[in-house]
Amino acid sequence: MSARNPGTDFDLEWLSKVRVNTQAVLKRAQHIQGLKLPKKQWQTAWLLKAASCIDLTTLAGDDTPSNVHRLCMKAIQPVRYDLLRRMDMHDKGLTTAAVCVYPSRVADAVRSLKAANSCLPVASVATGFPAGQTPLETRLQEVRMAVRDGATEIDIVINRTLALTGQWEVMYREIVQFREACGDAHMKTILATGDLGTFTNIYKASMVAMMAGSDFIKTSTGKEAVNATYPVAIVMVRAIRDYFLRTGHKVGFKPAGGIRTAQEALVWLTLIKEELGNDWLHPHLFRLGASSLLADIERQVRI
């Protein structure tokens, strides 16, 4: 992970000026999707880069220590050894960026990784994931417990009620408290953009999350009706760029939810390269939240 974002004071004036131009956003997203993807000879390298940026996730009601263990083993060796050997990549230490599990499964993941001598980070969703509709004290306690169990990254969800009713300062104060509860664990803030209604709300929520000290902003929980989309990403990465220009702090970006194919992973990498530049094309500033993307990446690498 990179240097942390310390956040800023809440600045209402900054937010009130914001009006996102919907047509311009849609046009830019379409342009990015139309760009030529890396040529065949570079695609494998790009796909391995994508694999290294995955937060390999399981967030299911029937998660058990055994499937969390299998997830951890896959995260340590995301692409088959013989395939990596063929590419002379077998000794480069390729892993995913992290594993991501529910708070109750953090201890299982930490145990499995430790037993395998791996220091891969364990991320945990918290704060009443996915809806965030539990009392603030419960949400804070959940963060503290996940950290206590060994999570070094916490994916919090914002309180959508506050965003939809324009209570930005209250939302800011909640996120500041989550950041405190995280301690040294890095905080990714999930906006659940599919619930936020407008691009302007998405920009404002991104900015509030960064002002409150988020290390990453993340699109979705994977449980909304609409999850990671390219237009939403354009709005969020522009907010990241504006925040960087104003404060000098680089905040990471994590699209998540419904990302299943190697082709989509390539578009996501292209979008980041075009909008934020190469600095962001590393796991400390870019993650793909996905439960089933890796299988297609491995398939494409094999071809």
* Contact call for residue 258 and ligand G3H (CB under 6 A): yes
The single residue among 44, 112, 159, 221 that binds ligand G3H, judged by CB under 6 A, is 221
Residue span binding ligand G3H (CB under 6 A) among the ranges 15-23, 105-113, 137-145, 250-258: 250-258
Enter the tokens of residue 53.
């940026």
Span interacting with ligand G3H, options 21-29, 31-39, 103-111, 289-297, rule CB under 6 A: 289-297
Binding segment toward ligand G3H, per CB under 6 A, in 137-145, 177-185, 203-211, 257-265: 257-265
Kindly name the residue from 49, 74, 254, 273 that is annotated as catalytic: 254
Residues 57-76 touching ligand G3H, rule: CB under 6 A, are 57, 59
Give me 173's structure tokens.
């104060």
CB contact at 8 A, 95 and 76: yes
DSSP string across 260-284: --HHHHHHHHHHHHHHT-GGGSSTT
**Distance spanning both ends of the chain, measured CA to CA:** 32
CA–CA distance, 18 with 267 (Å, rounded to integer): 27
Is 17 part of the annotated catalytic residue set?
no
**CA 253/CA 168 separation, integer angstroms:** 21
Nearer Cβ to ligand G3H (53/290) = 290
By CB under 6 A, residue 290 contacts ligand G3H: yes
Of 49, 218, 250, 273, which is the active-site residue?
Answer: 218
Q: Which stretch binds ligand G3H (CB under 6 A): 28-36, 114-122, 195-203, 253-261?
A: 253-261
273 is catalytic: no
Instruction: Please enumerate in sequence order all residues whose Cβ is within 8 A of that of 268, keeping only pairs 6 or more positions apart, or say none.
Output: 50, 233, 255, 259, 288
**How far apart, in whole angstroms, are the C-alpha atoms of residue 38 and residue 46?**
8
Q: Considering the complex, what minimum distance in angstroms separates the CB of residue 192 from ligand G3H?
A: 11
- Give 186's strand partners: 153
Q: Which residues 6+ apart lie within 8 Å of 104 measured at CB?
A: none
> Binding to ligand G3H by residue 291, rule CB under 6 A?
yes
Asked if residue 289 binds ligand G3H (CB under 6 A), the reply is yes
Residues in contact with ligand G3H by the rule CB under 6 A: 57, 59, 100, 221-222, 256-259, 289-292
Q: Tell me which residues are annotated as active site.
A: 218, 254
